[in-house]
Each structure stands twice: as C-alpha cells, then as structure tokens.
C-alpha cells in the first residue's frame, strides 16, 4: 500500500492529506474532508452525481484518483454559494422547481457551470448535451434545462432576472 501526500485547493482553500494510491477523489472529498455535497450514485462513471470542476473543467470525481488532484484547483458544490448568497444556478434550480429528491442536483449544477463557463449563451440543445452525462431519475429534464437557462441569463445580465422571481 503506497501513501502519497497531496495538496489540493478546493473552493479557494488549501487542503493537504495523505492518501492511498488507490483512493478515488470522490471518496477523499466525502470521507476525509467531509465535503459530502458531492454525491456517489454509481461509482462507475455513469450517473454524474459526483461531478466537480477540476481546473475549471467538469470531471466525474469517481473516475479520478485523489493523487491525480495533487496541485490542482477544484470546485465542489459547496463552493457555489458566496457570502451567504446563492449562485445563479442554485437560485435557478430553486425558482424553476428543478429538483425532487435532489440526489443528482450537485452534479447537475457543476456540469451546468462548466457548460456556462465555455458557452455563456447555450441553446436548449447545447444545455441538453452539456448535462448528457448526468442522470436524473425523478424530475425529468425540462425544469433542469429551465434552471440552467435562468442561470445563464442571470450570469449574462444580472439585473434582468429579479432574485427569487
């Protein structure tokens, strides 16, 4: 069993730890750091519940080893809210009723954030493609798409969408 010391910036804060070479990133986040907003649905890279951003790109954290995150910058769902203010994506999921059980929601929002970073004004088709690696078993995708459209508009033109409307 080989142990590695890693240093990873997560949500703007530096974390350090000793991890086994085989430890999956999602397990380190949840079990060691207690960042449990990142969910595990399948553990086999199918569902997207574990999606986070690694250096700004969406990654399923069950497909990556913790040692591979050494020196990288991560954003998890816990990093979306800033100074007690919901991120437009969180607000959009609330306003558009885009969740029921909520299990897929963190992964959905992180996949959507990666999409909006590379494409601030996506079409409905582009949104559907952007979240195609993320499964939802209860709402269907209509309101999730609406939530992402809400966030896209708010991020482009913050004054156009009143908060909580």
Binding interface with ligand FES (CB under 6 A): 40-43, 45-50, 60, 62
Cβ 45 to ligand FES shortest distance, Å? 5
Residue closer to ligand FES (CB basis): 27 or 154: 27
Residue closer to ligand FES (CB basis): 86 or 135: 135
Task: Indicate if the alpha-carbon torsion angle 71, 76, 78, 82 is positive or negative.
Answer: positive
Rounded Cα–Cα distance for residues 40 and 51 (Å): 9
Residue with smallest beta-carbon separation from ligand FES: 62
Cβ 59 to ligand FES shortest distance, Å? 10
Rounded Cα–Cα distance for residues 124 and 145 (Å): 7
Cβ 19 to ligand FES shortest distance, Å? 18
Cβ 62 to ligand FES shortest distance, Å? 3
Cβ 14 to ligand FES shortest distance, Å? 25
Residue closer to ligand FES (CB basis): 43 or 70: 43
Residue closer to ligand FES (CB basis): 6 or 104: 104
Other C-beta atoms lying within 10 Å of the C-beta of residue 161:
19
Residue closer to ligand FES (CB basis): 60 or 87: 60
């Amino acid at each position: 069993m080989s142990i590695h010391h890693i240093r990873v910036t997560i949500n703007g804060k530096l974390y350090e730890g000793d991890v086994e070479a085989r430890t999956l990133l999602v397990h380190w986040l949840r079990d060691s750091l207690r960042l449990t907003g990142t969910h595990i649905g399948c553990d086999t890279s199918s569902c997207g519940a574990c999606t986070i951003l690694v250096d700004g790109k969406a990654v399923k954290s069950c497909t990556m080893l913790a040692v591979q995150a050494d020196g990288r910058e991560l954003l998890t769902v816990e990093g979306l809210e800033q100074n007690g203010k919901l991120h437009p994506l969180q607000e959009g999921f609330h306003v558009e009723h885009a969740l029921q059980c909520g299990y897929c929601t963190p992964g959905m929002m992180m996949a959507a954030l990666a999409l909006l970073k590379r494409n601030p004004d996506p079409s409905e088709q582009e949104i559907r493609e952007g979240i195609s690696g993320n499964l939802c078993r209860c709402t269907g995708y209509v309101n999730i798409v609406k939530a992402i459209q809400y966030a896209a508009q708010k991020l482009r033109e913050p004054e156009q969408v009143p908060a909580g409307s």
